[in-house]
Structure 1
Amino acid sequence: MTKGRMESVEVFTSEGKGRGLKAQKEFLPGDVIFAEPAYAAVVFDSLTHVICHTCFKRQERLHRCGQCKFAYYCDRTCQRAAWLNHKNECSAIKKHGKAPTENIRLAARIMWKIEREGSGLGEGCLVSIDDLQNHVDSLGEEEKKELRADVESFLEFWPPQSQQFGMQYISHIFGVISCNGFTLSDQRGLQAVGVGIFPNLCQANHDCWPNCTVIFNNGNHEAVRSMFHTQMRIELRALSKISPGDELTVSYVDFLNVSEERRKQLKKQYYFDCTCEHCKKHIKDDLMLAVKEGESKPSAETVKEVIQFSKDTLEKINKARMEGLYHEVVKLCRECLKKQEPVLGDTNIYLLRILSVASEVLSYLQMFEEAADYAKRMVDGYLKIYHPNNAQLGMAVMRAGVTHWHAGLIEAGHGLICKAYAILLITHGPSHPITKDLEVMRVQTEMELRMFQQNEYMYYKMREAALKNQKIQVMPEPSNEASPSLFHKKE
């Protein structure tokens, strides 16, 4: 592979969008179009002591750098692999007296790499750091103030013996981080743990109904460690059949919102007006705002009142979740559902959001039967809205399947787990840790289902005995964060 070239894709000028990526050959659903190591990446400030600074895996016991006392690693292998990127940072942290924020650390890592290698095209890179969008000219006054503060903090941290860069170039790097940073997740993709810059990925334009997805994959730990010096990679994977010459697109935001709201979010965070077909034609907006049909169809005023009540309740739910008041969350969900159910349609996004929270929190509280009912309704709605190969859909179906299994509903549970496995094979691939976990669940529930079909009474007796002889498996504590979004945006 020569510098600035990649066999599978090429950079082209996309009409009305600037640069974009175009397929050079045919891809089928699940194909990896390319895998890319991070140009630079850092762990979030709040997780620096629980996440490996090399492979971004969450580990119970990490080895701390003996010099700066800041960086943590899985083992000596990860620590040695990190030294090229950590060497300058380690010295600067010791001299500075403390580690700066994640944005400053990421900017510094980018600058040190430029100091070592120059800012031109690297091996396998389609675009240089200098050519990435920064949108500095589009920033509002408050954002410009934050940018100036970041630049000042950077200059305080940056060692005088390192290559010195002009204020304009430093501002460019912070602009690149702000609008091109990619959220890194833990090994199971459930928690955002850091942010990195991936120049090739940055060229993929947005579409609300994309033909590709991006997955952070460090599934085969040793293989990844031998493949990339940065010890982690993202994969651009095909969601549908892609022909040579087709533009490769990803979604910067969750599709589960009406087109007007998605466009507002994209304009605010990424400074462009979305002109995708789904936004222009308001496709699926009717489903997301659906109301009950029939003789007793609710009035527009009633619908407005219920939606406002739902928004207010979601705010209260977020506050209660932050405080760990999960029984209060359940109470709020039940009250809201009582008001929603006579008014809102089964695919209404406000109903689906409450169903999602209710099923997750009830599972955590071991109230599996009620949780399974809400999870099934949520999945039924999602299946009518999301792209059939959407990663968030796959994760939601998987959680619903596990909840049904816990509730003893083996037939529905196995069916949902199989459906989730089919989706995640495409979105995550067979080597991803979460797909491997799901394959184990699929095999187990298939075996249990056969036992259930042969003798239902004996199945429940054996299940009861098995559960008595082991500690009740506690479901993961509900997260106070949304699922990791694709592109990182500094708040």
Structure 2
Amino acid sequence: MLKSVGYMENVEVFDVPGKGRGLRATKEVWAGDVLFAEPSFAAVVFDSMAEQVCHNCFRRQPKLHRCGQCKFAQYCNRTCQRAAWEEHKLECAAVKAFGKVPNENIRLAARILWRLDKEGGVVSDTQLTSLDDLENHVSDMTEEDLKDLKIDIHNFLDYWPHNSRQHKVEEISHILGVINCNGFSMSDQRGLNAVGVGLFPNLCLVNHDCWPNCTVILNNGNQTAVNTLFHTQRRIELRALGKISVGEELMVAYVDFLNVSSERKRLLKQQYFFDCTCKHCTEHIKDDLMLAGKEVDGKKASEEEVKEVMEYSLKMLEKIDKARTEGNYHEVVKICRECLEKQEQVLADTHIYMLRVLSTASEVLAYLQFMEEAATYARKMVEGYMKLYHPNNAALGMGTMRAGVTHWQAGLIEVGHSMICKAYAILMVTHGPTHPITKDLEAMRTQTEMELRLFQQNEYVYHSMREAALKNQPMSLRAEPVVEGIKNLFRRK
């Protein structure tokens, strides 16, 4: 075993043949147990989210207060601004002097180097690796990526203050390379959208498996209390998805499982520069389900039929993405309906192209308030997910939650309550009991349980009360649907 830089109670660093270093369990743990929690070494909000998200706690807020000095950083309130000042003060002066705001990679690299200059590469007893020891994969980059890296280095040198310690190009290149292949996407308080990127040294030691035994969740902490003594730190938590024995390597999925093995391998090679040799990729497990044709009375759709509908589906998915990007949601629904009509004749309910269309259709229809149709598609989507995903996969939990809420909004209380309970059981493992999503689900579970009891006692009274409630307080529009959910926790280019 390699000598650890720091010490953690539940994990240790060790040599993994063919992979370099990894982490393994030093204690037996069970589903939902937290193996370790780690604050970011440094983190920044994405360029595109700079005016929508607090730069301290990464929460989305309708009204933010701008930093009076640099006019760039935005905060929930004075409390968040004071809490962020230690990390922001050098950035604040640099942005003012530079006259503009550099991109998120440069801002994150600068924050990392300022912290390295002040505290060194290991900032706590629980940090298991220094930043110097992390892989940067600069030598593996394509010519196009190297061009982008050189531009970032050039802009970094223009941005970096003359009164700060000067760094060699190799050091800057290393940090930018580490960010590229180790940066972790950070979500807002609801865990639904990526809003920033951070670096977590211990997390960088956890290797990939397409069917992992752990998951990573961001806990935004509580930094809204006026008294800083009651603040809790923003951190990631590595949580067990099932029983993990002493000595077992800890693994997370760098890419979403809902791709055939060849596509997952391509994505991993492109972004993380390694060939995946996990069992699911080597043995192509579940690839057949993801590309399966429909079977009726023991007779399967022919390969030619499946191939034809797959080619058609790809074209339609491009049209769906275009209409969605333009905000033309009625057109999105129209294309989805046409596509599903063809797919349902030929493709199995686990085919990934059908699941993608079902996901989009259910989300957009719910946004447009066509709840019953949205619920139908959402249920089909979840049924497919359950045959493909790990039973404690966060994407399965989120999909089931969305389907449950959609059924409830459509007045389908029995199915809605059942799905909400299933989602709650999954998210208790993947997110834990204190996460805002889990708390919301717990409240929803209690509410639907009460409604279900009333429904079972007197169905007529239930429907009358519900109808009256909806008339008196119309259901508000849901938030505009977004293309990316939390399926890919690790950052992609």
Give the TM-score band, short-chain normalised.
over 0.9
**What is residue 407 of structure 1 aligned with on the other side?**
410
Kindly indicate whether the alpha-carbon contact (under 8 Å) linking 2:213 and 2:240 is maintained by their aligned counterparts in 1: yes
Tell me the equivalent position of 2:151. Answer: 149
TM-score by length of 2: 0.96
Partner of 2:460: 457
Q: How does 1:199-214 map to 2 (within 5 A)?
A: 199-214=201-216
Q: Give the Cα separation in 1 of the matches to 2:218 and 2:195.
A: 11
- What secondary structure, in the 3-state scheme, does the structure 2 residue paired with 1:341 have? helix
Task: Find the aligned partners of 2:224 and 2:409 in 1 and give their Cα distance.
Answer: 34
Q: Is the 8 A contact 2:313 2:353 kept in 1?
A: yes
- Counterparts of 1:269-418 in structure 2, within 5 Å, are 269-293=271-295, 294=297, 296-418=299-421
Q: Which secondary structure state, in structure 1, belongs to the residue aligned with residue 38 of structure 2?
A: strand
Rounded to whole Å, the distance in 1 between the matches of 2:441 and 2:174 is: 42
Is contact 1:132-1:202 (8 Å) kept?
A: yes
Residues in 2 aligned to 1:452 and 1:385: alpha-carbon distance in whole angstroms: 33
CA gap of 1:138–1:91, structure 2 versus 1, over 3 A, is same
| 1: CA distance, partners of 2:63 / 2:362 | 32
Partner of residue 16, structure 1: 18
Deviations 1:136-191 (A, max 9, x none): 00001001111100000000000111111111111000000000000000001111
Instruction: Point out the more displaced range, 291-300 or 338-347.
Output: 291-300
Q: CA–CA distance in 2 between the matches of 1:295 and 1:122?
A: 61
Q: CA offset at residue 119 of structure 1?
A: 2.3
Of 427, 430, 434 in structure 1, the residue corresponding to residue 430 of structure 2 is 427
State yes or no: 1:444 paired with 2:455. Answer: no
| 1:114-141 CA distance string (max 9 Å, x none) | 1101224633100011111100000010
Tell me, yes or no, if the aligned pair for 1:5 and 1:125 is still in contact at 8 Å.
yes
In structure 1, distance between residues paired with 2:190 and 2:133: 32
Q: Any conservation in 2 of the 1:213–1:236 contact (CA below 8 Å)?
A: yes
Query: What is the letter of the counterpart of residue 317 of structure 1?
Result: I
Q: Is the 8 A contact 1:224 1:232 kept in 2?
A: no
Instruction: Determine if contact 1:41/1:106 at 8 Å carries over to the other structure.
Output: yes
CA contact (8 A) 2:6 2:124 kept: yes
In structure 2, how many angstroms separate the alpha carbons of the residues matched to 1:482 and 1:398? 13
Q: Residue 242 of structure 1 corresponds to which residue in structure 2?
A: 244
Partner of 1:31: 33
**More deviation in 455-464 or 12-21?**
12-21
Equivalent pair of 2:224/2:231 in contact (CA under 8 Å): no
Paired with 1:223 and 1:206, the residues of 2 have a C-alpha distance of 37
How many residue pairs get aligned? The number is 489
Shift in CA distance, 217/154, structure 1 to aligned 2, threshold 3 Å:
same
**Aligned-CA RMSD value:** 1.7
Q: Percent identity?
A: 66
Which digits, 9 at most, give the CA deviation of each residue in 1:323-370, with x for residues without a partner?
A: 111111111111111111111111111111111111111111111111
Determine the C-alpha separation between the residues in 2 that align with 1:339 and 1:73: 49
5+ residue gaps, structure 1: none
Structure-2 change in CA distance of 1:167 and 1:187 (3 Å):
same
CA distance in 2, matches of 1:228, 1:168: 41
Cα distance in structure 2, aligned partners of 1:51 and 1:14: 39
Alpha-carbon deviation of 1:244?
1.0
Report the AA paired with residue 42 of structure 1: V
Whole-Å separation in 1 of the counterparts to 2:272 and 2:230 = 29
SS at match of 1:199: coil
Shift of 1:227: 8.2
1:93 is aligned, of 80, 92, 95, to 95
2:477 match:
474
2:234 is aligned, of 216, 232, 236, to: 232
Question: Quick check: 1:54–1:231 contact (8 Å CA) kept in 2?
Answer: no
- Higher deviation after alignment, 192-201 or 285-294: 285-294
* SS of match in other structure, 2:197: strand
Letter in structure 2 aligned against 1:36: E
Q: Report if aligned partners of 1:43, 1:53 keep a CA contact under 8 Å in 2.
A: yes
Report the more deviating stretch, 117-126 or 309-318: 117-126
Distance 1:133 1:489 in 2: 17
CA distance in 1, matches of 2:222, 2:425: 20
Letter paired with 1:450 = R
In 2, Cα distance between the equivalents of 1:324 and 1:61? 24
Partners of 1:219 and 1:433 within 8 A in 2 = no
Name the aligned partner's letter for residue 354 of structure 1.
V
Q: How does 1:4-153 map to 2 (within 5 A)?
A: 4-120=6-122, 122-153=124-155
Distance in 2 (CA, whole Å) between partners of 1:224 and 1:202 is: 33
